[in-house]
């Protein structure tokens, strides 16, 4: 058996053929022509035909072999090579015949392999072009939303702004985060690691009294400045824009010389993979980077005033106690001065503290205030405008600011997703908890994100579509968030956004605004309950007994009928243990006589049994 037909070589040839690699097992067709012994003109004609077929190497080798045999056989039959070349015909015809014949007879494995190469190559080229197209667009932010925000918060007359007064106290007492002041003497540590405000019955009460005495200037200023209608604190994402006094008050630990280096490291703060410098820069310049280091101090101020009210009661100082309650509501109004949802939530919380102080006084010391002071207290509570506390205009601007940093701008209000914008989208999603690392680990791989990001162009909404979504969402929010709860129990802005916001970014950024509705309605319910409870106390003082029904309070003691926020009907009350209990009937609509439901959120629990007790509710 010859070596060429050995079992090993036969197996090799068949194996290579099945793998579509026949061209690797074929000989060198150029060498075969050169070694054929044919004249140069014949070799040239064969080479031209083989070369121009454009076929695979093994197919060219087969054609070359056929042509060599053709000319050799003809010459053996007595024809000259000139005659053979003349009779052969044109190169173009030969190329066409050989090419079509080989393509028809080409093995299916070769066709599949060649097709796969073409598809892969085309796909790879398309991907490269898509990458180039994706990275060619850049965002170009043109609107300064920080300036727009500051125009809203600082446009009031200077004599109506409390911040210039508070600012000096913030600097003197170090009230901002990182400052020196703390109020630990006003708290009691509990066994479960929680704390509560100190009471006169606690053993450390003398230390709290001493602390309050040392804070007389601070307390007096809170009581006086809280009467002003506006706060007027400027807010900037670029810390270099703060005045020296504002910077010292809000950021006592920062050095103005190094402010340019104080930008947030978003990669570290969000615990995400590598973030480009451009994405980090755009985020640091956006309004989402605006901090509110002063707002939480209004909660602390309300707590201090609550403890001072306990001291005023102990000292028999009715006037100071009443002024403290008014000051708490003034601070609540000022903390919600900026049209930012976070400020609104703080405002609602501080108003609730003011209601809780009233509740504490009436339950623990029902006869402490005089009749005139009780009337003044009720008037002060009634003047609290909780509807005006719900502000969120800034959130729409924040969404628009993110859009101008995520999308390109074609000059006509439209644009497409950019590479740096995809990074910002991801950071926003991480910031709102949309993609927790433990649930979506592949999102943590920055290489995977960068490789797959261009594909988002096929599904991502355009800039104009996203702007339209934001505008429509805020229009709907405006229409629904101020409706009473009984008219719109099932309001869920999150679901509305998730349906149309493919990236989920906007859902995370502005979806929380739906909670403003609940916050407002809950605090309105508390406010109405406070007014009803005060009216009951006024009736008892005047008539010598508690009222039995709401009709006895209307007119003289109640100017407006308090409303059950869950059904739109009059709020209910009952006298228990010589004190009023004010309650809503709850979602089930059954009057359980003021027996509270077990739910921690009775205004949301549609399956719970029992009433929603709105007064008393504070935990002293």
Q: What is the pLDDT of residues 365-398, one digit of tens each?
A: 999 999 999 999 999 999 999 988 888 889 889 9
User: Over 80: is that where the pLDDT of 24 sits?
Assistant: no
Residue 483 structural domain? 393-517
For the beta carbon of residue 616, count every other beta carbon within 10 angstroms.
18
The 3 state secondary structure assigned to 289-349 is HCCCCCCHHHHHHHHHHHHHHHHHHHHCCHHHHHHHHHHHHHHHHHHCCCCCHHHHHHHHH
The pLDDT tens digits for 590-614 are 888 888 887 777 877 777 788 899 9
- Please indicate, yes or no, whether residues 310 and 443 belong to a single structural domain of this protein: no
* Beta strands at 572-576 and 579-584: parallel, antiparallel or unpaired: antiparallel
What is the mean predicted confidence (pLDDT) over 97-109? 82
User: Over 90: is that where the pLDDT of 361 sits?
Assistant: yes
- Please indicate, yes or no, whether residues 211 and 68 belong to a single structural domain of this protein: no
Amino acid 20: pLDDT: 46
DSSP 513-578: GHHHHHHHHHHHHHHHHHHHHHHHHHHHHHHSS--SSGGGTBTTTBSS--B-TTTSSBPEEEEETT
- Please indicate, yes or no, whether residues 499 and 354 belong to a single structural domain of this protein: no
Domain limit, last residue, from 358, 389, 420:
389
Number of residues assigned to the chain: 620
Confidence band for 100, pLDDT divided at 50, 70 and 90: confident
CA-CA distance, 588 to 608, in Å (whole number)?
7
- How many domains does the structure of the chain reveal? 4
- Please indicate, yes or no, whether residues 96 and 209 belong to a single structural domain of this protein: no
- Please indicate, yes or no, whether residues 300 and 374 belong to a single structural domain of this protein: yes
Place of tokens 């050989």: 98
- Please indicate, yes or no, whether residues 177 and 190 belong to a single structural domain of this protein: yes
The pLDDT tens digits for 137-170 are 999 999 999 999 999 899 999 999 999 999 998 8
Name the average pLDDT for the chain. 84
- Please indicate, yes or no, whether residues 349 and 444 belong to a single structural domain of this protein: no
The pLDDT tens digits for 64-74 are 888 889 888 88
Phi, psi of 79, rounded to the nearest 5 degrees: -85, 150
- Please indicate, yes or no, whether residues 363 and 410 belong to a single structural domain of this protein: no
Amino acid 508: pLDDT: 63
Domain limit, last residue, from 458, 493, 517:
517
CA-CA distance, 204 to 459, in Å (whole number)?
63
Amino acid 515: pLDDT: 82
- Please indicate, yes or no, whether residues 209 and 334 belong to a single structural domain of this protein: yes
Q: In the chain, count of helices (H) and strands (E)?
A: 27, 5
- The answer as to whether 426 is a domain residue is yes
For the beta carbon of residue 231, count every other beta carbon within 10 angstroms.
26
User: Over 90: is that where the pLDDT of 619 sits?
Assistant: no
- Please indicate, yes or no, whether residues 378 and 253 belong to a single structural domain of this protein: yes
Phi-psi region of 236 (alpha: psi -120 to 50; beta: other; left: phi over 0): beta
The burial of 120, by beta-carbon neighbours within 10 Å (0-12 exposed, 13-18 middle, 19 or more buried), is given as: exposed
| Cα–Cα distances in angstroms (integers) from residue 362 to residues 304, 378, 618, in the given order | 19, 12, 12
Nearest Cα neighbor of 56 from 11, 117, 13 is: 117
- The answer as to whether 134 is a domain residue is no
- Please indicate, yes or no, whether residues 511 and 564 belong to a single structural domain of this protein: no
Query: Structure pTM?
Result: 0.80
User: Over 90: is that where the pLDDT of 505 sits?
Assistant: no
- Please indicate, yes or no, whether residues 198 and 230 belong to a single structural domain of this protein: yes
User: Over 70: is that where the pLDDT of 441 sits?
Assistant: no
Confidence band for 261, pLDDT divided at 50, 70 and 90: low
Confidence band for 15, pLDDT divided at 50, 70 and 90: very low
- The answer as to whether 119 is a domain residue is no
């Amino acid at each position: 058996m010859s070596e060429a037909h050995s079992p090993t070589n036969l197996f090799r040839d068949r194996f290579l053929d099945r793998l579509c690699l026949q061209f690797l097992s074929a000989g060198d067709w150029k060498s075969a022509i050169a070694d054929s012994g044919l004249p140069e003109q014949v070799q040239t004609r064969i080479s031209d035909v083989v070369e121009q077929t454009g076929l695979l190497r093994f197919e060219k080798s087969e054609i070359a072999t056929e042509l060599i045999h053709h000319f050799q056989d003809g010459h053996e039959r007595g024809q000259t090579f000139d005659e053979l070349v003349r009779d052969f015909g044109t190169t173009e015809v030969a190329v066409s015949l050989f090419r079509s014949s080989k393509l028809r007879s080409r093995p299916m494995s070769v066709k599949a392999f060649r097709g796969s190469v073409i598809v892969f190559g085309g796909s790879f080229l398309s991907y490269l072009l898509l990458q180039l197209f994706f990275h060619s667009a850049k965002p170009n932010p043109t609107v300064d939303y920080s300036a727009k925000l500051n125009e809203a918060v600082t446009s009031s007359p200077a004599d109506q702004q409390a911040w210039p007064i508070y600012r000096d106290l913030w600097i003197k007492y170090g009230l901002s985060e990182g400052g020196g002041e703390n109020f630990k003497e006003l708290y009691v540590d509990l066994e479960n690691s929680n704390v509560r405000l100190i009471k006169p019955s606690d053993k450390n009460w003398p230390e709290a009294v001493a602390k309050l005495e040392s804070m007389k200037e601070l307390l007096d200023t809170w009581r006086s400045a809280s009467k002003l209608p506006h706060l007027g604190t400027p807010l900037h994402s670029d810390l270099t824009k703060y005045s020296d006094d504002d910077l010292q008050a809000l950021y006592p630990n920062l050095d103005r010389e190094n402010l340019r280096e104080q930008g947030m490291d978003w990669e570290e703060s969000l615990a995400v993979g590598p973030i480009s410098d451009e994405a980090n820069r755009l985020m640091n310049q956006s309004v989402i980077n605006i901090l509110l280091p002063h707002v939480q101090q209004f909660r602390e101020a309300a707590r201090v005033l609550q403890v001072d009210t306990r001291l005023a009661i102990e000292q028999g100082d009715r006037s100071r106690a009443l002024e403290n309650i008014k000051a708490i509501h003034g601070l609540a109004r000022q903390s919600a001065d900026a049209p930012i949802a976070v400020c609104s939530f703080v405002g609602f919380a501080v108003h609730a503290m003011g209601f809780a102080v009233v509740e504490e006084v009436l339950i623990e010391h029902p006869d402490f205030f005089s009749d005139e002071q009780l009337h003044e207290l009720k008037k002060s509570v009634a003047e609290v405008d909780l509807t005006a506390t719900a502000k969120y205009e800034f959130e729409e601007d924040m969404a628009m600011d993110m859009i101008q940093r995520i999308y390109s701008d074609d000059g006509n209000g439209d644009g497409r997703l950019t590479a740096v914008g995809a990074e910002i989208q991801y950071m926003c999603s991480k910031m709102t908890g949309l993609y927790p690392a433990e649930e979506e680990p592949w999102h943590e791989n920055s290489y995977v994100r960068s490789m797959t990001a261009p594909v988002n162009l096929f599904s991502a909404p355009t800039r104009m579509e996203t702007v339209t979504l934001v505008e429509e969402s805020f229009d709907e929010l405006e229409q629904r968030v101020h409706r009473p709860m009984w008219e719109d129990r099932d309001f869920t802005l999150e679901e509305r956004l998730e349906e149309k916001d493919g990236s989920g970014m906007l859902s995370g950024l502005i979806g929380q605004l739906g909670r403003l509705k609940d916050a407002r309605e809950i605090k309105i319910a508390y406010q109405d309950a406070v007014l009803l409870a005060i009216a009951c106390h006024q009736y008892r003082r005047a008539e010598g007994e508690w009222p039995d029904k709401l009709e006895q309070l209307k007119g003289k003691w109640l100017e407006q009928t308090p409303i059950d926020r869950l059904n739109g009907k009059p709020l209910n009350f009952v006298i228990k243990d010589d004190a009023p209990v004010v309650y809503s009937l709850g979602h089930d609509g059954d009057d359980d006589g003021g027996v509270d439901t077990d739910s921690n959120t009775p205004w949301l629990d549609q399956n719970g049994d029992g009433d929603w007790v709105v007064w008393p509710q504070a935990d002293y």
